[in-house]
Structure 1
Amino acid sequence: MVFAGVLGSSVRSTLKLAGQRLVPQVSCQSQLSNARLFSVLLQQSSRSGIHRLPILAVTSRSITKTAVQPTATVPSTPADAASASAVTPPEAVIPDVVTPESSVELLPDLLDSAISHLPAALQYGDLAALGLVGWTPAGFIRWSLELINVTTGMPWFWTIVAGSLFWKAVLFPLAVKGLQNSARILPIQPQLQKCQEEMSVVQKSGDKLAMQKQALKLRKLYNDAGVSMGATFLIPFIQFPVTLGMFFGVKKMCDLPVEQLTQSGLDLLPNLAVPDPYMILPILLCAAVNTQISVGAAELNLTDRPEMGHIMNGLRLLSVAGIWVMSAFPSGLMISLVTTSFATTVQSLLLQQPSIRRALNIPIVPAQFQGKLPSPLESVQYVIAKYTSKLSEASAAAKQPQAKNRRR
């Protein structure tokens, strides 16, 4: 009996060792924590249809390191099998058998599936295929944005910033020419106003010869001051279409939307086709516009034309009230507006430096001609006084027919 027991024990140990070599080692999903998390993320993204799934960098090394490879044990007696099944909780039951080799083979397919959720990079001609490129100012600006994105490979957030700065640089020579004219006009502003008043009186009289004399006198004033009349009237006709083209060009790309704009490349604003959920951009634009107005007021002659200062204060008030309107604009459009406004402020600050003005042949404005914005209270008082004077003029004009009737 003892011999039979020893023989049976040796046979069982031999079979157990052979079973460990023949039976494949298994790993349950609960032990493959990284693989389970990656699989769940892919399943959730496929159900929800989200196209902005981040690329999950999961390697076979991280999976195989965390995978525990227990050896399959055979219970020696039925009592041991029953006790093992009683101790094992239901959660630990292996739902699927996943070998490390099969998980490594699945990784390329899973990564390809994750990357396929991202939009393809923009290619040259894609915007033309969408009907967004043309010979209009907006179409031409959209073509320039496509060219910047394709050639540099920058994310679309920085593409819009670079495009806005590019067109600001294109308009820089016109801004310098405009400052040259405005700085030369400031000292002769009183003579110009007097000449314009005489011109209006002559126009009412209908004397064509006198009108020609006044026109020649006005032209002589401009020529003596070195002011180019053609540039003065031509500059706004060039700047205005570019400004509107930038606005409507970016806005239509966001409204369509161009698929690549849904991946901005910035975590704070991942989707440029939707409004800023935090309202950071509208508030930032309001601050940029107010700063731009305050800095640019130095180039205005508010002494002879005080109404311009009150108009600027009105624009500042409108910029604050427009925060709620701008909160509905797409983030891509707001980025373009904020970039342009800050670039204009920096440009004005630089062009007010005496050394830069001398280098660009821009006359230095004397201190007495440099404008300073009035306070909000002064603007309110100005509006009240203007409204009161208009009412008095209207009442005086209404009384004149009545006085004539009484005389009759």
Structure 2
Amino acid sequence: PLTAGTRVGVRNISAPIVLGGIASSRQLSLWGYNIYGKKKTEEPAVEAVTTPEAPTPPETIDPTPINEAPTPAADKFADVTQSAEPSSVLPSEFDLESIADLANPSILTMPENIGFLKEIGLDYGWGPTSVMQWVLEHVHVYTGLGWGGSIVATALLLRVIMIYPQLRSVKFSAATAKMKADPRAKESLELMKKGYQTGDREMVQKGQFIGNMVRKEYGTEVKNMFWAFVQIPFSFGLFRVINGMIHIPVPSMENAGWAWFTDLTAADPFYALPVAGTVLLVGTLKLNSKYTPPEQKAMMKNMVYVMSAVTLFATSFLGAGVNLMMVSTGAATFITAAILNNESVRRALDLPIPKIEEPVYKPPRVTQAKGIEGLRERLTDNLDNMKKSVSDQVGNMTNQYSGTAEERAEKARKEQIQKLENMRRKLERDEFEKKYKR
């Protein structure tokens, strides 16, 4: 209720309107008429009479001396201390003790027993990588060698185990070379090429039938081709294990090397190990190309330069432990290749001794281009020769022929010409029917 002395302002009037919502806003209008033209009823305004209040004089506060100021009671501090009890809030699910264990020096002194690598985080599940991890760990634990010696011993052991697959691969390569000299194999390949170019399926099937018959006679079925690839997953698995040990890193690998590469987790500062691994790789390829056909030798010659450059660049950034493994594997492979390419050893192992084919001289093709264009043209020719050699090799191994780029282009051109010829004949027939068959 409004009484004498009550102040009335805009806030006192607008607040009920805002809080009242739509019902209150209907009572407020800026004009004297509502929307239907009827005059709005006027309510008498209440005039508020205000009387000024007399100001009250401020009270004076006497200053209190410092020595007479009240001191807080000791009981209040006791109450505060008693109220600060341990919190009853449960700790979160994230336990910080696991982080504290990482900084615990006991990890650095953890005994290197069976399962040590898995405990520190190297777990590759099931497969060739886990097999090589199991072998490396057992060699390290049961021989007492350091990690450097264990890497070398495991790499050599892997090469010894892979001798049998390598022998089967050598036999397959020798039998394939002997089969390629058979006129029936050449006839089979020519039939498949001609049938592919002309689109004659019957001719292709005839060539495949002759090829399968010759293949069965020489024992060069496609399944025997995979002996050459057995060692690849295990070699790559050993690489993954050692590379993972470097990136963790295993603490004892930091002083498990020799000579200038005492730290197996760091790269070789003098690049001697990457160079040695690349040289052994190139030497192995040279030895294995002794009995290869001349067209494959030309392909291998170009591949050697590319592979050596890529291998040297890639291994320069790897740790010394990985390069030590590659040097050990490369040395064992080089020695094995040298032994198996010896004629006396091949006779003792009942391995065929293929005849070394001399390359046929071909005069160089005269080119008019010079400089960069001439270099590009020569590289294109070499690449085309490599593609043709690979295509022929795959055709001999799989008894399938997909053709070279030129042959595929020629086949597409002939198919397009045949399609246009069929369209021309159809149009002529339609015109003839329109003209004479009414």
Question: What's the TM-score bracket when you normalise by the shorter of the two chains?
Answer: 0.5 to 0.7
1:383 and 1:195, CA in 2 relative to 1: closer, same or farther beyond 3 A?
Answer: farther
Counterpart mapping for 1:200-279 below 5 A: 200-202=193-195, 204-207=199-202, 213-225=206-218, 227-229=219-221, 231-279=223-271
- Assess if the C-alpha contact under 8 Å between 1:250 and 1:332 holds in 2: yes
How far apart, in 2, do the equivalents of 1:288 and 1:172 lie?
A: 18
1:197 aligns with 2:190: yes
Unaligned runs of 5+ in 1: 1-115, 372-378
Q: Contact 1:177–1:231 (CA<8 Å) still a contact in 2?
A: no
2:326 corresponds to: 337
Change over 3 Å in CA distance of 1:368–1:311 after alignment to 2: closer
Aligned twin of 2:113: 123
1:386 CA displacement = 4.9
Cα 1:239–1:381 shift into 2, 3 Å: farther
Note if contact 1:182-1:299 (Cα within 8 Å) is conserved in structure 2. no
Partner Cα separation in structure 2 for residue 228 and residue 394 of structure 1: 27
Does the alignment pair 1:181 with 2:172?
yes
Q: Following the alignment from structure 1 to structure 2, what is the Cα–Cα distance between the partners of residues 178 and 388?
A: 27
- The separation in 2 between residues aligned to 1:391 and 1:346, in whole angstroms, is 39
Match of 1:160 in 2: 151
Say which of 367, 371, 376 aligns to 2:356.
367
Q: Check 1:380–1:234 CA distance in 2 against 1; reply closer, same or farther (3 A cut).
A: same
User: Contact conserved, 1:122 with 1:260, CA < 8 A, in 2?
Assistant: no
1:171 maps to 162
Question: Is the CA contact (8 Å cut-off) linking 1:285 and 1:341 kept in structure 2?
Answer: yes
Offset at residue 170 of structure 1 (A):
1.2
How far apart are 1:246 and its partner, in Å?
A: 2.3
How far did 1:177 drift?
0.8
Give the direction of change, closer, same or farther, for the CA distance of 1:202–1:146 in structure 2 (3 Å limit). same
CA distance in 2, matches of 1:221, 1:257: 54
The answer to whether the 8 A contact 2:151-2:324 is kept is: yes
Amino acid at match of 2:137: E
Distance 2:116 2:378 in 1: 54
Contact in 2 for aligned 1:300/1:370 (Cα 8 Å) = no
Alpha-carbon offset, residue 359 of structure 1: 1.9
CA contact (8 A) 1:133 1:143 kept: no
CA pair 386-263 structure 1, distance change in 2 beyond 3 A: closer
Query: How far apart, CA to CA, are the structure 1 residues paired with 2:287 and 2:303?
Result: 16
Q: Quick check: which one's helix share is greater?
A: 1
TM-score after normalising by structure 1:
0.59
Question: What's the counterpart of residue 385 of structure 1?
Answer: 381
- With over 3 angstroms needed to count, the CA separation of the structure-2 counterparts of 1:391 and 1:177, relative to structure 1, is closer
Distance apart, 1:320 and its partner CA: 2.9
Q: Does the 8 Å contact 1:156/1:263 carry over to 2?
A: no
Is the contact made by 1:292 and 1:345 (CA closer than 8 Å) also made in structure 2?
yes
Whole-angstrom CA distance in 1 between matches of 2:381 and 2:347 = 42
Aligned counterparts of 1:398 and 1:135: Cα–Cα separation in 2? 47
What TM-score, normalized by structure 2, do the two folds share? 0.55
- The residue number in structure 2 matching 1:17 is none
* 1:212 Cα offset (Å): 5.3
Return closer, same or farther for 1:370/1:331 CA change in 2, 3 Å cut-off.
farther
- Residue type of the partner of 1:182? S
Give 2:325's aligned amino acid. Answer: S
User: In the alignment, residue 178 of structure 1 is paired with which amino acid?
Assistant: S
CA distance in 2 between counterparts of 1:184 and 1:200 reads: 23
Larger deviation: 382-391 or 191-200? Answer: 382-391
Greater alpha carbon shift after TM alignment, 142-151 vs 227-236: 227-236
| Conservation of the 8 A alpha-carbon contact between 2:246 and 2:265 | yes
1:349 Cα deviation after fit = 0.6
Q: Deviations over 1:56-96 (max 9, x none)?
A: xxxxxxxxxxxxxxxxxxxxxxxxxxxxxxxxxxxxxxxxx
Pairwise CA distance, 1:169: 1.2
Structure 1 pair 309–343 and aligned structure 2 pair: CA distance change class (3 A): farther
Deviations 1:198-239 (A, max 9, x none): 2354464233xx6555444223212333x2425523314422
Shift of 1:285: 1.4
- Percent identity reads 21
Contact 2:114 2:138 in 1 (8 A): yes
Distance 1:277 1:117, change over 3 A: farther
What does residue 135 of structure 1 align with? 126
CA distance in 2: counterparts of 1:230 and 1:387, whole angstroms: 26
Q: Against the structure 1 CA distance between its residues 172 and 397, is the aligned structure 2 distance closer, same or farther, given a 3 Å change threshold?
A: closer
- Flag the 1:196–1:391 CA change in 2: closer, same or farther, 3 A: closer
Residues matched between the structures, number: 280
Q: In the TM superposition, what is the alpha-carbon distance from 1:350 to its structure 2 partner?
A: 0.3
Work out which of the two has the higher radius of gyration on C-alpha atoms and give 1 or 2: 2
Runs of 4+ in 1 over 6 A off after TM superposition: 387-402
1:127-150 deviation per Cα after TM superposition (whole angstroms, max 9, x unaligned) = 222233532211211111001000
Please give the per-residue CA displacement for 1:301-321, whole angstroms capped at 9, x wherever unaligned. Answer: 22xxx1553344333343135
Q: Equivalent residues in 2 for 1:304-315 (5 A)?
A: 306-315=295-304
1:283 to 275, 278, 293: 275
Q: Is the 8 A contact 1:132 1:142 kept in 2?
A: no
How big is the shift at 1:157?
Answer: 1.0
Q: Which residue identity lines up with residue 222 of structure 1 in the other structure?
A: R
Task: Confirm or deny: 8 A CA contact 1:181 1:228 kept in the other structure.
Answer: yes
